[in-house]
Amino acid sequence: LLSLVVLFKGAYSIFFLSTCTLLFSVLKILFIFIIVAFFTLAERKILGAIHRRRGPAIVGLFGLLQPIADALKLFVKELLYPLRAQNFIFLMAPWWILTLSVLAWFFIPFHFIVFKFNALFFFDGVVDINTLFILDLFYTISFEFLFGNYNVQVVDGNIAVLILLAVSSLNVYGIILAGWSSNSKYAFLGSLRSAAQMISYEVSFGLTILPVVILTSSLNFIDISLGQVRGNFMFILLPSFIMFIISMLAETNRAPFDLPEAEAELVAGYNVEYSAVTFAMFFLGEYSNMLLMSALCVLLFLGGVGGHYYYFFPFKIVLVCFLFVIVRASVPRFRYDQLMQMCWKFFLPLTMSLFVYYVVFGFWLLNNIF
Amino acid sequence: MLSVSRLLIYFFLQDNEKISEYECGFEPFDSATRQPFDVHFYLVGLLFLIFDVELALLFPASVCIFDFTWFNVWMVFFFLLLLFIGLVYEWRLAIIDWPN
């Protein structure tokens, strides 16, 4: 069901549409929220299984309605404004994070799969990569929905990778504003830590993507996926891939790098003062960012949207999410100075030298093989 | 109903204990965010600025790196070398080392 939802979500990639309809954007955002909600349930279930307990099992069949119950509870609860908080910024920060996390999803090319579906249903013959090229040139999907025919124009972001990086870096502002405006020491320190960690790892995050960009000469996800038809970049760029996974965990403030949320010292990091709906918004934003990061990981290193096996794409995303949860259950937390040193002293020099290596390697390939 | 009751609560049943910021048992005696904090966070921010600008240059460079002449490629490498020297300098100044 999850993968089906993921599949059909992309049909309404609204950000680039020439014919914008509010309905579709709302639908897409709703789908993202549903996926996120069930991801939280999946996480709790998997954690439970690893701890040899049952996890949520009361609400609904096998606890399937648990996320809905949680969401309801969070929405009904009272919203508190702390005494000395800057109310406007205090309320804007969760909106900021939620909006950015939703915005970023519009650059993930799920419509590629929709092209494939169209090709399957409306064209005869074998669907191969050439057909896809032709379909890609059209950039239009026409379909019937509720009131009539819709011609939806879908354009790949030619600088999608860059835009995603920019959007993920804007997340830091939300965290800083949340910590500063709630005027609590725990929140402030948590937000400082979180921001420092995120901006440090953003550098190494960007630098690990660079080899992929070098080898494909493109910032377009479709091009990057087409570059991986013969073999995933995971194998070719193994060191970059490992560093990407680690900085992905650090970017999303997840275990083993969940220092901003260190329960023992900082209670819950930058969102201590948040309650009810605003807390739910932070929560949604974080988990949607995690899903986004795993989608990015699949697109850049694990074969992209895939050649013939395009239906693997959502499953691969789910697999990387699974990795997130497994890592949380099995790896102990880092110390803060270790975290910073690993980024600046290990990742940064290594990624910079890898950049040089792959440029030279690429030129060698061009001169001697191709 | 809900919103009206919320407003009523907000105006008439405001509880100072409840809406004061989180603290370990005592009343918070000082504003938290108008105090000095560790300068290392600021330094990390400065470092980030430099390397983020580097990224902004390296992304377009790496898209069209195979259309470059050797001179241009060497210029990119020289730029990286400068940054690397800068990193080593900051390493020596122990900006990256976090005080315990």
Please give the Cα distance from A130 to B99 (Å, whole number).
Answer: 57
From first to last of its 370 residues, chain A has per-residue pLDDT tens of 333 333 344 444 433 343 334 455 566 778 888 889 899 999 999 999 999 998 888 888 888 888 889 888 888 887 777 777 778 888 889 999 988 888 888 777 765 554 444 444 443 333 344 344 434 433 444 444 455 444 444 445 677 888 888 888 898 999 989 888 888 888 888 888 888 888 888 998 999 999 999 988 888 887 788 788 777 888 888 999 999 999 999 988 887 888 777 666 667 778 878 888 888 888 889 899 999 999 999 989 988 776 556 667 788 889 999 999 999 989 888 888 888 888 888 999 999 999 999 998 888 888 887 6
Residue B16 has pLDDT above 70, yes or no: no
Q: B96 to chain A, minimum CA–CA distance in Å?
A: 7
> Hey, which bits of B1-100 come out as E strands?
none
Residues of B in contact with A356 (CB under 8 A): 77, 80
pLDDT at A25: 58
Task: Report how far apart the first and last C-alpha atoms of chain A are (Å, whole number).
Answer: 44
Of the candidates A110, A247, A100, A108, the one whose C-alpha atom is nearest the C-alpha of residue A167 is: A100
Residues 233-252 of A with CB under 8 A from B: none
What the block records as the tokens of A104 is 């970023």
Q: Which residue of A has its CA nearest to B39?
A: A192
- Residue A81 backbone phi and psi in degrees, to 5: -105, 115
Q: Check CB contact of A120 with chain B, cutoff 8 Å.
A: no
pLDDT at A262: 67
- Chain B positions with Cβ closer than 8 Å to A: 6, 9, 16, 18-23, 28, 31-33, 37-38, 40-41, 44-45, 47-48, 51-52, 55, 58-59, 62-66, 73, 76-77, 80, 83-84, 87, 91, 96-100
pLDDT at A141: 47
Q: Residues A231, A233, A238, A239: what is their CA dihedral angle, to the nearest 10 degrees?
A: 160
Residue B45: C-alpha distances to residues A144, A163, B42, B79 (Å) = 50, 21, 5, 21
Please give the Cα distance from A289 to A101 (Å, whole number).
Answer: 6
Q: B49 to chain A, minimum CA–CA distance in Å?
A: 9
Q: Check CB contact of A348 with chain B, cutoff 8 Å.
A: yes
| Secondary structure letter of residue A150 according to DSSP | E
- Other C-beta atoms lying within 10 Å of the C-beta of residue A357: 12
Q: Check CB contact of A187 with chain B, cutoff 8 Å.
A: yes
pLDDT at B13: 65
Contact A84 B22 (CB under 8 A): no
Contact A183 B45 (CB under 8 A): no
Residues 255-274 of A with CB under 8 A from B: 267, 272-273
- pTM to 2 decimals? 0.82
Residue of B14, B62, B66, B84 to mutate for A, most A C-beta atoms under 10 A: B62
Q: What is the bridge-based pairing of β-strands A140-145 and A148-153? A: antiparallel
Please give the Cα distance from A5 to B44 (Å, whole number).
Answer: 41
